[in-house]
Amino acid sequence: MLKGKKALITGSTSGIGLGIARALAAQGCAIMLNGSRDAEAVEPVRRELADQAGVLVAYGRADLTRAEEIGPLVAQTIARLGGLDILVNNAGIQYTAPVEDFPPEKWDTIIALNLSSAFHTIHHALPFMKAAGWGRIINVSSVHGLVASVRKAAYVTAKHGLVGLTKVVALETAGQGITCNAICPGWTRTELIEPQIVALAERLGVDVEEGGRALLAGKQPSGQFVAIEHLGQLAVFLCSEAAEQITGTALPIDGGWTAQ
Ligand code: NAD
């Protein structure tokens, strides 16, 4: 379905980003993976995806907390893949503490990575999408782009900001063949939330699996984690023709979390 399209997915060497990369590659899309690790460390992941999907898969190392590394990443994507049709802003980190204990440097890093990096990638990518008359921008926000939780000031602020950015970009590109949407996952079992599961399990004096169930019980009515593969399929749908009038939305995929 996406044969000939070219996608840059930020923070895509693990977790949800890698899942979205797999789903787009399975549709024939060429992929630029990104992360802040050296290329050698990521080579097994890159090669496996390329072999599995039979598409061009490249890796662009860039630390997205550093704005000056983002323009070159977009330029490298266009040079290596021959264009840029799909941009998935997925890179993100978490840190939890009450506001009064929240280290200011953690605040700055989370805002830079989880919010500002999406502005910079879009800023650099949009001229190419506008010239081509086609583009899909998917911002991986979170349920925390729609509602808050305690101890997550920087994360919740960044994810709400990402929803705002999504709406502005959607309005500025409306009717030009380009859409911009945010997806808002609930708990999805990745490295990002593992420390929270472990901490909860320790606090409750239970094993990690029981900790996972307790984490879900607090927020996610389905009692089940969101599957990474399903987030990949949602991204594929947003790139499809059927989704051409879906723009400026923030789509929850959260087992009912934000219905409460
Ligand atoms: P993850 O830790 O597996 O993925 C985060 C990715 O970001 C990693 O591949 C990491 O290499 C990359 N990254 C970290 N710092 C970077 C930097 N400075 N420059 C470039 N890349 C960097 O966790 P995940 O859960 O897959 O998170 C992906 C996105 O999904 C995040 O934006 C996260 O906020 C969002 N999200 C996750 C959940 C969840 O429950 N796991 C829920 C909602 C939203």
Model confidence pLDDT, tens digit, residues 2-14:
999 999 999 999 9
| 122 in Cβ contact with 89 (< 8 Å) | yes
Model confidence pLDDT, tens digit, residues 166-210:
999 999 999 999 999 999 999 999 999 999 999 999 999 999 999
How far, in Å, from the CA of 35 to the mean position of ligand 1? 10
Atom index in ligand 1 nearest the CA of residue 193 equals 41
In this prediction, residue 259 carries a pLDDT of 98
* H/E stretch holding 162: helix 153-173
pTM of the complete model: 0.98
3-class state of residue 161 by DSSP: helix
In this prediction, residue 218 carries a pLDDT of 87
Query: Could you give the residue numbers annotated as active site?
Result: 155
Specify the CATH superfamily of domain 6-186+227-253: NAD(P)-binding Rossmann-like Domain (3.40.50.720)
Domain regions of the chain by residue span: 6-186+227-253, 188-225
Q: Is the CB of 35 under 6 A from ligand 1?
A: yes
DSSP code string of 205-217: T--HHHHHHHHHH
Model confidence pLDDT, tens digit, residues 19-61:
999 999 999 999 999 999 999 999 999 999 999 999 999 999 9
Alpha-carbon distance of 160 to 169, in angstroms, equals: 15
Q: Given strand 6-9, what is the order of strands in its sheet?
A: 57-61, 30-35, 6-9, 86-89, 135-140, 178-185, 250-253
Within 27-116, residue ranges assigned H as helices are 39-53, 70-81, 104-110
Q: Is the CB of 109 under 6 A from ligand 1?
A: no
